[in-house]
Chains A and B, each alone.
Chain A
Amino acid sequence: MKNKLFRISFQRRKIIAGYLFCLPFLIGFALFFFYSFMQTLIFSFNELQLTPIGYELTFVGWSNYSYALNVHPSFPMDLAAEIGNLAVNVPLILAFSFFTAIILNQKFFGRLLARVIFFLPVILGAGIIFRLEQTDMITQLSLGAAKPGLVFSGTALQNLLLSTRLPEQFLQFIIDAVERIPLIVRASGIQILIFLAGLQSIPSSVYEAADVEGATAWESFWLITFPMLSPLILTAVVYTIIDSFTSADNELVSMIRSTAFTSQGFGVSTAMAVLYFIVIAAVLGLVLQVVSKWVYYQE
């Protein structure tokens, strides 16, 4: 009887503790995030005029939205292009970082150095350096004048591929994929880190047990490594999508930002931001639905 009472109160305490641990975020969400988010929604239906003592709103209905979708020269097309780009990049980034993490988890000479180098893009790929490089003379010269931004633009590979007489679309896809390599590598640093930390957390006893049972390396990969890493695959997918949608290098994000300070004004900019947000939420919701189905948790 006494034991049962203790258990109930312990469960109660656990529930209260759960809320307490989350409290900082709840405050931040209510005070800073949600408040600003609602204001953005309100602004998107208004025309905002800055005055010396604050700002004034004039209700304009849906006109900001219809401007963004129907009148703006490039917004709908840029949005579609962004999604297409994402559909190609996300699988490539995930496959590359997963593969790389497995390699960096093996024992070989110079592993520490290799790890240090592979995580460098986390620092080097960050916003301002990337932005300055786009217009920097030395960077562009060093990459070859023919196709700035691409390391693998050499014609040797293209000639080799064209001589194989495979269908042209297929070759174009290969060439495109190869040209994306530097971008993929640069965008993968964090995903490699996530996967590597996950690999390290799988106890070696599990592999030893599988080995004793006669499992091949292939089997233990698909039956141990893959399911054990699946929560982190979800993390990496979510991260990759969000990173490419919200990074400051993103052309759409900078367009939304610059629209705020041009003649079209802040109303149109917020309307674009809201539309963009809806697209992000839809893509992410879809991916979460699909991927969470086969995520395995140790519970």
Chain B
Amino acid sequence: MKGKSFVIGVLRAVFIIGVAYIILQPLLTKLSSSFMTISDMFDQTVKWLPRTFTLQHYKDAWGFMNYPIAFRNTFSLTLAVSILQLASCTLVGYGLGRFKFKGGKIIFAMVIFTLIVPPQMLMVPMYLNFRYFDIYGLLPPPGLNLLNSVWPFILISITGVGLRNGLFIYIMRQFFRGMPKDLEDAAYVDGAGLLRTFLTIMLPSAVPGLVIVFLFAFVWQWNDYFYTTLFMGGQGKFLTHALDNIAVKAVEGRTDLLRTHYSSLISNTGMILFILPLLILFALMQRYFIESIERTGIIG
């Protein structure tokens, strides 16, 4: 018995280390090359640790990306969008997961429907819609121009039709649906109203789902290139645009032979700067996430 569990332990360790290598290798490559000078890149004897340690690429990438401003824009938009999406998708998920009413199945089918339509398919109508926004003629023509403002993001987020919101609704529905009915009934018997049951009984039990949805919403909005380009124009106000342009900016006005190497180094450094805030958030949320899933495990 003891020998068997030892073998399992070894197999588990091999599996975990192998997969961890596959996942970490691209990240470590970026990290190590971001501190390297160009001559280190050519040096065959330099593998992971740079021989001449330099922070110059970070200084350059910081400048090329206009990092402080791009970060502020990205962070504030992402936070607002993910909180709004969390709120709207949790409400709808609860409505679909815990209530039986005529048309509930149709609404759920509509949610799946929004999910399977690639957002690129609705690109031009969306653009025109927000360019001449008139709520079906309620406002006098030519309507309001909501482009280059945060309004398109807010409107599609509070109404649960933003980027992959169908998935968030689906996740919350599955979470609420999987909860024991006794929990809810006990609250009703104790005289709690529908809203109070939702807020004080069901919501705290759904914390793992809430954390997952918030994390997804945040990460996808942070990485979003499509909607920020469509609604805000590609003016480099956001980190995704800044990162997309960084390689071009790095070689601007340079004609030397090493310019492609330099732009690759800068681009890798930029990627580190881009994902660093996500890694920090992830580290913070991870602890909370582990705690919360274990707590509900006990309540379960």
Chain A positions within 8 Å of B, measured between CB atoms, are 10, 13-15, 17-22, 24-29, 31-33, 35-37, 39-40, 43, 48, 54-55, 100, 103, 106, 108, 110, 112, 114-124, 126-129, 132-133, 136-139, 142, 151, 181-182, 185-186, 190, 193-194, 196-198, 200-204, 231-232, 234-235, 238-239, 242, 245-246, 248, 253, 256-257, 260, 266, 270, 273-274, 276-277, 280-281, 284, 297-299
Nearest residue (CB) in A for B103 is A19
Chain B residues with CB below 8 A from A117, complex form: 20, 23-24
- Residues of chain B at interface, number, CB under 8 A: 104
A119 → chain B, closest Cβ, in Å?
7
- Contacts A43-B125, A273-B120; is A25 near B99 (CB within 8 Å)? no
B259-271 CB mask vs A (1 if < 8 Å, else 0) is 0110011011001
* Beta-carbon contact of B264 and A122 below 8 Å: no
B126 → chain A, closest Cβ, in Å?
5
- Contacts between chains A and B (CB distance < 8 A), count: 278
Among A13, A32, A100, A139, point to the contact of B159 (Cβ < 8 A): A32
Chain A residues with CB below 8 A from B195, complex form: 17
CA distance A40 to B293 in the complex (A): 42
* Beta-carbon contact of A201 and B282 below 8 Å: no
Chain B positions within 8 Å of A, measured between CB atoms, are 9, 12, 15-16, 19-20, 22-27, 29-30, 33, 41, 88, 91-92, 94-96, 99-104, 107, 110-112, 114-126, 128-129, 132, 135, 155-156, 158-161, 167, 169-171, 174, 177-181, 188, 194-195, 208-209, 212, 215-216, 219-220, 222-226, 240, 243-244, 247, 260-261, 264-265, 267-268, 271, 274-275, 278-279, 282-283, 286, 290, 293-294, 296-297, 300
* Beta-carbon contact of A36 and B126 below 8 Å: yes
Among A22, A39, A194, A204, point to the contact of B297 (Cβ < 8 A): A204
* Beta-carbon contact of B100 and A273 below 8 Å: no
Binding site secondary structure of chain A: helix
Sample of 17 more A-B contacts, CB < 8 Å, known A29-B110, A190-B216, A193-B212: A18-B100, A18-B104, A21-B99, A25-B92, A26-B107, A40-B122, A120-B24, A126-B222, A128-B225, A139-B29, A185-B22, A194-B171, A194-B212, A198-B178, A239-B167, A246-B119, A257-B120
